[in-house]
Homo-oligomer: A and B are copies of this chain.
């Protein structure tokens, strides 16, 4: 007999039954797991009536709402494939990925009507548009055929039998943000999503339980909102959706709903800290706040703890990994350490989650020494890590080796305790005279200078050394014109070995950012920004 298939419907059905009275909040709207489940059944019937069959792709362009949550469960459980489109991509990229995915239906928040109306001629596969708005009157649109989400549900039966699929059936399709080229698609099966949900729910990982109140800050168009809506549903936690991103609304929701767990990129926590009315909000109900998607500094962790009494913990993931791979929690013997010593560990990339085969390896594939110095690339294989890109054998061959390890392109060190710290992207590493200089390390140090807002260090060509570091710096408004290259050199002198100090500093008005808020070093390099320097090399 075939093993019991790992299908998302088994998680959903149990939660609908056991936690039927548990609450789901979407700004001022409230309903229960029971209500949501009934609407998911109606939604499944409605989507089926639109002609969607098993394996067909269903796209969304939406914020973090209860309707998006309904789609999160309904589309995979009915056997279709959920493609949550990153609304922050360039319109051309949005067109590219919807066509590449061959999406059949597009569910969109009314916020995105103007955007999609401009793209309509280029979207080749969409057969129907479903607009998610509170009121029907917002539905004046050139899109055809267009339906109102609430009307579709209204007209559908709440009886639906979720199919008994093969566990390797596709459940979701996520695209990378295209930091390094066109977005690439990653398809996750029911089995992978199920295992990601189980493993990230462990006390070793998100550790969310039924007593928690979870606020979904990570956009639902970013790799399953880090999988948190699935975990929260499985354990029966109360869930809070903030709709479109608004830092004040988020702080208000944390206070009003007594949120206990959330996750976000560091930028969001920095926005909370720097908010002019930060003192007016009580965020102390938060017992866990995960920070990921970009390095989280010990300084941010300290400031957040001191201001709000909330512990930030770093987590790390990748689109290709569903996404969570590590968590930076402490080992038992560290629990009594002083706060600063703890922060140093909370800000690391962390320890690999259970069941993963995650290693940091040199160019020969050997694991690097656990000395917190030797730099290698993070490679990983595991129950929920993709084995290739969607319809893209060439890119697959570039990133996966013969043994099935994904080469992440993230360069890292490992300490004696096994904690990993990512020090750079492989493509951003500077190779100077045969030695590796991690650009992120230089960024971190220069960003400690009181005048510096951001620093993005990149490689510039050098005849003698191959490459040498160039620091691209933006200054805080009050320091503009008051800080010179020599001040930066002086600042670095006792903080970096001489050969790692940048050869030049370029003061820019702005550092280009990707759609997920990361420094776009690729663009800086592509622009040959060093041509703007009067002296290209001092070495």
Interface residues of A in 318-369 (CB under 8 A from B): 329, 331-332, 335, 351-352, 354-357
Q: Is the CB of A6 within 8 A of B383?
A: yes
Q: Please, how many angstroms separate the alpha-carbon atoms of A168 and B238 in the complex? A: 36
Identity of the chain B residue whose Cβ is nearest the Cβ of A1 in the assembled complex: B387
Distance to closest chain B CB from A333 (angstroms): 8
Q: Please, how many angstroms separate the alpha-carbon atoms of A405 and B243 in the complex? A: 41
Identity of the chain B residue whose Cβ is nearest the Cβ of A5 in the assembled complex: B383
The secondary structure that dominates the A interface is loop
Interface residues of A in 5-23 (CB under 8 A from B): 6, 10-11, 13-15, 17-19, 22
Q: Is the CB of A352 within 8 A of B189?
A: no
When distances are taken between beta carbons in the complex, the residues of chain B under 8 Å from A418 are 17-18
A204 close to chain B: CB less than 8 A: yes
Q: Is the CB of B18 within 8 A of A211?
A: no
Category for how many chain A residues contact B: 35 or more
Q: Is the CB of A202 within 8 A of B355?
A: no
Q: Please, how many angstroms separate the alpha-carbon atoms of A96 and B131 in the complex? A: 67
Identity of the chain B residue whose Cβ is nearest the Cβ of A353 in the assembled complex: B14
Distance to closest chain B CB from A384 (angstroms): 8
Q: Please, how many angstroms separate the alpha-carbon atoms of A4 and B387 in the complex? A: 9
A199 close to chain B: CB less than 8 A: yes
Interface residues of A in 186-237 (CB under 8 A from B): 189, 191-192, 194-195, 198-199, 201-204, 207-211, 234-236
Q: Is the CB of B354 within 8 A of A14?
A: yes
Q: Is the CB of A352 within 8 A of B387?
A: no
Distance to closest chain B CB from A240 (angstroms): 14
A404 close to chain B: CB less than 8 A: yes
Q: Is the CB of A189 within 8 A of B11?
A: no
Q: Is the CB of A383 within 8 A of B1?
A: no
Identity of the chain B residue whose Cβ is nearest the Cβ of A19 in the assembled complex: B331
Q: Please, how many angstroms separate the alpha-carbon atoms of A13 and B210 in the complex? A: 31
Distance to closest chain B CB from A206 (angstroms): 9
Q: Is the CB of B198 within 8 A of A208?
A: no
Centre residue among A4, A10, A198, A417 by max chain B CB count within 10 A = A4
Known: A14-B352, A203-B235. A382 touches B335 (CB 8 A): no
A76 close to chain B: CB less than 8 A: no
Known: A209-B203, A210-B332. A4 touches B404 (CB 8 A): yes
Out of B3, B208, B388, which one reaches A168, CB within 8 Å?
B3
Q: Is the CB of B201 within 8 A of A203?
A: yes
A385 close to chain B: CB less than 8 A: yes
Q: Is the CB of A351 within 8 A of B388?
A: no
Out of B18, B191, B199, B351, which one reaches A3, CB within 8 Å?
B191
Q: Is the CB of A235 within 8 A of B354?
A: yes
Interface residues of A in 232-252 (CB under 8 A from B): 234-236, 238
29 contacts between A and B (CB under 8 A): A1-B388, A1-B404, A3-B168, A3-B189, A3-B192, A4-B381, A4-B382, A4-B383, A6-B355, A6-B383, A10-B382, A11-B354, A14-B354, A17-B418, A18-B418, A195-B198, A198-B199, A198-B202, A198-B354, A202-B235, A203-B207, A203-B208, A203-B209, A203-B210, A203-B235, A207-B209, A210-B332, A234-B354, A235-B354
* Interface positions of A (Cβ within 8 A of B): 1, 3-4, 6, 10-11, 13-15, 17-19, 22, 168, 189, 191-192, 194-195, 198-199, 201-204, 207-211, 234-236, 238, 329, 331-332, 335, 351-352, 354-357, 381-383, 385, 387-388, 404, 417-418
